[in-house]
Amino acid sequence: MKKIVFESFGNWINEHNVIKGEQPTGLTVEDVDSKEFLVGLAVESEHSKDLGVQKVLVLQNLNQNPKYYSEGMKKGIFRKPNAINIYKKYFIDKEKPKII
């Protein structure tokens, strides 16, 4: 019985594009700063290779604090080289992100 319930729940999650542990924020990529979002994706790639999971994590963090990743970079919390390079590119060198 447990297996059937678990499989049914798993199917429901997959059908509704829900990620385990996801906290609905109501935010979309268009609602957040694109520079913060790009840095966030690089930071969250440490936790998952799945872009959907990364996106959910980024939106959850930006929902709590719209400058979560830039503030974390300034404090030295995030150390992933790729994230640091993206942060430098958009926040220090002030390039504009190209969202396609």
Nearest Cα to Cα of residue 58 among 9, 12, 47, 94: 47
pTM exceeds 0.85, yes or no: no
Q: Is residue 56 part of a domain?
A: yes
* pLDDT reading at 5 higher than 90: no
Which residue segment(s) compose the domain that 56 sits in? 22-92
Q: What's the confidence (pLDDT) of residue 22? A: 57
Other C-beta atoms lying within 10 Å of the C-beta of residue 76: 8
> Mean pLDDT, to the nearest integer, of 90-95?
92
* pLDDT reading at 8 higher than 90: no
> Mean pLDDT, to the nearest integer, of 46-55?
90
Q: If you ran DSSP here, which 8-state letter would residue 31 be given?
A: G
Residue 71 to residue 37: CA distance in whole angstroms: 13
Question: What's the domain count of the chain?
Answer: 1
> Mean pLDDT, to the nearest integer, of 16-24?
56
